[in-house]
Amino acid sequence: MNIQGKWSLITGASSGIGEQFARQLAKQGSHLVLVARTKSKLDTLAAELGRKYNIKAEVIAMDLAEADAPRDLFQQCQRLQLEIELLINNAGFATHGLFEQISGQRQHEEIMLNVAAVVNMTHLFLPDMLRRSSGTVINVSSTAGFQPLPYMAVYGATKAFVLSFTEALWWENRDRGVQFFALCPGSTDTDFFAVVGTEEASIGKKATPQQVVETALRSLANKKIYTVPGSQNYLGAQLSRFVTRKQSLRIVGNMLRPRS
């Protein structure tokens, strides 16, 4: 993927995996559209990468969990006359605990950001890519997308949706010049668990965002449909292939059960 001099749009770009995508793509010469809720963080990152790599960086601060936000973002890109060559749907968050005890509003926002925003962003930006017969969409799923997650029921379901959605669109567009790719990281050393509110949602050794993004870009270059960074994470993602669904639920449920 030659991204030099072309525009990449990254959601959730203010920290973690999104920030690391911005850093590695800027190093390759890509111009950036950085999207997240916190404008001050985006401004700092845009200024740093612009100076260091002599690239352009546009900052758009918004909450993509709001229903109209993806269309507003798309229209801003149109007004700025930006052709998005690489779309990275990275923004997302998780909740943890007994389903009925978690705020219904919070879980609704989780679905809006993790699912609805991904679908809407893809639907808005894909037609221009198809007209050019050129473009790439990276959707960030998770190892959570490979099996149901007791105590993280909504999060696991949203990430299963993202993985299924991405693989289906890979097939639809495989001969149309647009590549689809799902990144499925396991536990990663980001602010993710601070947002969740507990480290009990973390399983296994945490990878760094740099390791995750390097694996993603390498797998994308090798024309893979998805990647699970880390051999342990990959084996864990394949658990349901070797045990019954009830056994898988027992294993994962015991790992994620709230301790407090």
Model confidence pLDDT, tens digit, residues 126-164: 999 999 999 999 999 999 999 999 999 999 999 999 999
Q: Which one is catalytic: 151, 155, 226, 234?
A: 155
How many CB atoms sit inside 10 A of residue 212's CB? 27
d(CA 60, CA 77): 9
CA 189 to chain centre: 15
Burial 161-186 (b: 16+ CB within 10 A, else e): bbbebbbebbeebeeeebbbbbbbbb
Whether 53 sits among the annotated catalytic residues: the reply is no
pTM to 2 decimal places:
0.92
Cα radius of gyration rounded to whole Å, the chain: 18
- DSSP-assigned letters across all residues of 117-136: HHHHHHHHHHHHHHHHT-EE
d(CA 192, CA 156): 14
Q: Which one-letter DSSP state was computed for residue 215?
A: H
**Contact assessment for residue 232 and residue 211, using Cβ atoms and an 8 Å cutoff:** no
How many CB atoms sit inside 10 A of residue 113's CB? 22
d(CA 6, CA 22): 13
Domains by residue range for the chain, with CATH: 7-256 (3.40.50.720)
- The residue ranges of the chain whose pLDDT is under 70 are 192-204
Reported as half-sphere exposure (CB side, CA atoms, 13 A), residue 81 has a value of 0
In terms of Cβ atoms closer than 10 Å to its own Cβ (0-12, 13-18, 19+), residue 43 is middle
